[in-house]
Structure 1
Amino acid sequence: MGSPYLLSQVELKPGDLIEIFRSCYQHWAIYVGDGKVVHLAPPCEHPMDGVASVLAALSDRAYVKKDWLEDVVRKDRYRVNNKHDETHPPLPISKIVRRAEELVGREMPYNLTSHNCEHFVMELRYGVAMSDQVTEAIAMGTVGVMGVAAAVIRSMAQRRKHRKE
């Protein structure tokens, strides 16, 4: 495989999931052929928008767009990531691409935890809307909260111990 930033179009197949590594999140698109991808983009997913991820969190709508892969990727690293093929058989490629193309131009609900760009492409490829980013963030949040709780409890126990001495 070539550079981690650019894959040749020969390596990309219609229906492939493209994971794009933004500064603090991953944007997802689905390859539909001829150098183009379909993706769900909040109004703030623009090339020059450095606060896109913050503004996306505030948005409740997004648009299905068909763009050149290189325009969506910009200077970010990306890869093909059909990560659930083992557990969720992909739909037929013709159906994936047809469904993606039919949605182009539509406004859709957007929510970071239930209707984001990863949910969108997973539903196109597998027929199931899912987002590992959300699952991992929730798990990390839970671990973080548990860690803070453990630290507070430990601190309180140490204070009691010192008071008794």
Structure 2
Amino acid sequence: MASRSQSRPRLGDLIEIRRFGYAHWAVYVGDGYVVHLAPPSEFAGAGSSSIMSALTDRAIVKKELLSQVAGSDNYQVNNKYDDRYSPLPTNKIVNQALQLVGKELRYSATSMNCEHFVTTLRYGVPCSDQVAEVTTNLTVGAGLLAGLGLIGIMLSRRRRERQ
């Protein structure tokens, strides 16, 4: 991914901004601006410090320049759910986004994060593969740790039996 989008965003496009360890999401509303859901303490271009959003249960809908929100982070247009859901009309996406600017909304990293917010605007359906991926990774990681622990116990028993 380049530090600027490979394709110019169009009205209603979802913008994925790659942060350290996760992605921040926004919806393009024109003239270089995006609307996104961010914790009250987050500032434009916050980068990895915005991971603190996981510690809050409220967020503010903000309209900011894409260049400021992305800062030095990479971003791209990513309408990744278009094959699963039909996008709403562009004017509806943009109008709904703009009507929400300045509003404080409930925030949850697992059920109402910035990706859920923008996918609800674009498709009328909250989606977040990020949450599914993290859950899968945690499950796989826990399974691997349990498996390694079991192997360790078995090796330890074998050593004791040989002694």
* Structure 1, unaligned runs of 5 or more: none
Q: Distance in 2 between matches of 1:91 and 1:144?
A: 37
Pairing of 1:113-132 with structure 2 (within 5 A):
113-132=110-129
Most deviating of 134-143 and 41-50 = 41-50
What is the CA distance between 1:80 and its match in structure 2? Answer: 0.2
The count of corresponding residues between Structure 1 and Structure 2 is 161
**1:6 and 2:17 equivalent?**
no
Aligned pair partner of 2:79 in 79, 82, 105: 82
**1:136 and 2:133 equivalent?**
yes
What is the CA distance between 1:20 and its match in structure 2? Answer: 0.4
What is the CA distance between 1:47 and its match in structure 2? Answer: 4.1
- Of all paired residues, the percent bearing the same amino acid is 48
Q: Distance in 1 between matches of 2:23 and 2:8?
A: 21
**1:146 and 2:143 equivalent?**
yes
TM-score normalised to structure 2 length? 0.92
Q: Distance in 2 between matches of 1:126 and 1:162?
A: 59
TM-score normalised to structure 1 length? 0.91
Q: Distance in 2 between matches of 1:92 and 1:16?
A: 11
What is the CA distance between 1:163 and its match in structure 2? Answer: 2.2
Q: Distance in 2 between matches of 1:11 and 1:94?
A: 18
One-letter amino acid of the counterpart of residue 6, structure 1: R
Query: Secondary structure in 2 aligned to 1:51?
Result: helix
Pairing of 1:68-79 with structure 2 (within 5 A):
68-79=65-76
What is the CA distance between 1:44 and its match in structure 2? Answer: 2.7
Pairing of 1:1-165 with structure 2 (within 5 A):
4-7=2-5, 11-47=8-44, 49=46, 51-53=49-51, 55-165=52-162
Q: Distance in 2 between matches of 1:48 and 1:63?
A: 15
Query: Secondary structure in 2 aligned to 1:5?
Result: coil
Q: Distance in 1 between matches of 2:89 and 2:45?
A: 36
**Aligned-pair Cα RMSD in Å:** 1.7
* Structure 2, unaligned runs of 5 or more: none
